[in-house]
Amino acid sequence: MSHKEDNEGKKSSHRTQLYASVPRSCMPIVYHPDYNITFMGLEKLHPFDAGKWGKVIRFLKEEGLISDGNIVEAHEATEEDLLVVHTKRYLNRLKWSLVVASITEIPPLLFLPNFLVQRKVLRPLRTQTGGTIMVGYLRGLLCFPGGGFHHCSSDRGGGFCAYADITLAIKFLFERVQGISRATIIDLDAHQGNGHERDFLDDKRVFIMDVYNRYIYPGDGFAKRAIKRKVELDWGTEDSEYLQKVELHSEGALNEVRPDIIVYNAGTDILDGDPLGGLSISPQGIVKRDEIVFRAAKRRGIPILMVTSGGYQKKTARIIADSILNLHRQGLIGAEVLEGEGSSSLVTSMMCTSVSVGSKLTAV
C-alpha cells in the first residue's frame, strides 16, 4: 500500500506487510501455527484452550474444506502496525513480565525473563492480531476462527487481551481502504467488549451492538456509554430467548445504520457449562447464531469480518469448525472471489470468506 494519501482522502500510512495481495487460488482462511500458545504447560493455568486454533484447522482439513495449499499465512503485527492504535507507553509496559502476567491472568509469567514472555506468549497474540487485520483487508464474508481481543483498548489490556485487534482492523480499514468509512461491531461474546468500546467511545463512524451476561467481567460502566444497542442477559439464558434477541437486535442494528463493514465477535463462551460465561446456549444454538448474523449481512450485501474471541471448554474448537462448515454449506461463505488492493467495490468480494484461526485467551 502506498505511503501517499489516495484520491479518496485516506490518511498517509506506514508500510505494512499485512495488506499484501493474496493469490485468488487461496481460500480466505488466515492462519499460522504460531497462533497456538505452548510453553512448559503454563498455558494450562488459564481456562482458555490456548491450542484451539490448530484444532479448528485440523477439523476443517478432515472435512475437506481446506488444505495446507490454500490457507493464507498470517503475519505478525509489527510495532509500527500496533502503533496505529496503541500508545508507545502501553507497548513499553508489555516489556515487563509482571504486566503481561496481570493481563493474561497467568501469575507465574512474572518470574520469567521478558524475552521468553515475548516469544512464547505475546508473539502468538501479535500474530493473531496481524491475522485479524489481514482478514479485514480480504474483506467479504469473512470467517476468522481467532482474534477478538475485545477487552484491550489503546492504552490498557486485560482478560487475556494484550492487543486491540478489533480496533486495529477497523482503523486500518478506515485509513487504507476506499469505500469504508462506517463500521458496525456485533459483539456476541458472553462478556462485555469494553476494549473496543473505550476506543470508539466518541467515534460516530462506529456503531456497537453488545449482547452479554450483565453479571460477569468486566462490568465497565464507562465503556458501556459507547454501546448503541445494548442487550444485557441474565444467568443461564437459553437458546430460544437468546436466538430471538440476536436476530431481533442484529436486524435492528443493521437497519438503524448501514455500515460498510461488520466486525462480528463470535465468542463461544456462551456455551452451556462454560466456567466463565454463565449462559446456557447449546452447540446447535451457537451454529444457528452465527448463521443468523451472516444471513443478515448477506441480505444487505455488507462484508463481515468474524473473530472468535472467548470460549473456555475443550469442545469449543469442534463447535467453531461445525459453524464454519454450516456457513459454507448454506452458501454464506466461500472462496469465489478474493479482492486485494485496488478493488473498486466491496460488493465484488461479497462471497469471500476469511477464516483466520486464532482467538483471544481470556474472560472475554
What average pLDDT does range 68-74 have in this prediction?
A: 85
pLDDT of residue 108: 87
Q: Taking residues 61-69, report their average pLDDT.
A: 90
- Across 29-55, average pLDDT: 72
pTM value surpassing 0.85: yes
Q: What average pLDDT score do residues 156-162 get?
A: 95
**What pLDDT is recorded for position 33?**
85
Cα(17)–Cα(13) distance, integer angstroms: 12
Q: Which of 293, 44, 281, 262 is nearest to 173 (CA)?
A: 262
- Which tens digits make up the pLDDT trace of 192-247? 999 999 999 999 999 999 999 999 999 999 999 999 999 999 999 999 999 999 99
Grid cell for residue 193 = 467488549
The answer to whether the beta carbons of residues 172 and 166 sit under 8 Å apart is no
Dist. CA 247–CA 253, nearest whole Å = 10
- Provide the annotated active-site residues: 151
Q: Which residue has the higher pLDDT, 185 or 6?
A: 185
The predicted structure's pLDDT at residue 335: 53
Lowest pLDDT segment from 33-42, 201-210, 287-296, 312-321? 33-42
The predicted model gives 270-281 an average pLDDT of 97
Largest CA distance in the chain: 52
Average pLDDT over residues 280-294: 98
Confidence band of 4 (pLDDT split at 50, 70, 90): very low
pLDDT, tens only, 15-29: 999 998 777 667 667
Q: Residues with Cβ < 8 Å from 29, sequence gap 6 or more?
A: 57, 60, 66, 70, 71, 72, 143, 353, 354, 355, 356, 357
pLDDT of 124-135, one tens digit each?
999 999 999 998
Question: Mean pLDDT throughout 329-352?
Answer: 47
Confidence of residue 329 (pLDDT cuts 50, 70, 90): very high
> Over 60: is that where the pLDDT of 338 sits?
no
92 exposed, middle or buried (CB, 10 Å; 0-12, 13-18, 19+)? exposed
Instruction: Return d(Cα 185, Cα 192) in angstroms, integer.
Output: 12
How far apart are the C-alpha atoms of 150 and 162, rounded to whole Å? 10
In percent, the amount of the chain with pLDDT more than 90 equals 67
Q: In 3D, which of 135, 157, 158 has the Cα closest to residue 146? A: 135
pLDDT, residue 48, reads 60
Mean pLDDT over 253-280 rounds to 97
CA dihedral (265, 52, 310, 204) positive or negative? negative
Q: Where are the domains of the chain?
A: 45-330
Give yes or no for residue 350 having a pLDDT over 80. Answer: no
Local confidence band at 118 (pLDDT 50, 70, 90 cut-offs): very high
pLDDT confidence of 40, banded at 50, 70, 90? low
Q: Is 316 a residue whose pLDDT tops 70?
A: yes
Is the pLDDT at 341 greater than 90, yes or no? no
Mean pLDDT across 258-273: 97
Banded model confidence at residue 146, pLDDT cuts 50, 70, 90: confident
Q: Which three cell numbers stand for residue 284?
A: 446447535
Distances (CA, A) of 292 to 230, 242, 276, 336: 18, 12, 24, 21
Per-residue pLDDT band at 139 (split at 50, 70, 90): low
Give the residue among 106, 101, 25 at the shortest CA–CA distance from 67: 25
**What pLDDT shows up at residue 35?**
84
Q: Calculate mean pLDDT across residues 34-63.
A: 76
% the chain with pLDDT above 70: 82
Q: Is the pLDDT confidence value at 348 over 70?
A: no
* CATH no. of 45-330: 3.40.800.20
pLDDT reported for residue 1: 37
For residues 88-101, average pLDDT? 97
37 contacts: CB under 8 Å, gap ≥ 6: 43, 50, 51, 120, 121, 124, 361
In the predicted structure, residue 180 carries a pLDDT above the cut 80: yes
Q: Which residues, 6+ apart, have CB-to-CB distance to 72 below 8 Å?
A: 22, 26, 27, 28, 29, 30, 31, 134, 138, 354, 356
pLDDT score of 52: 83
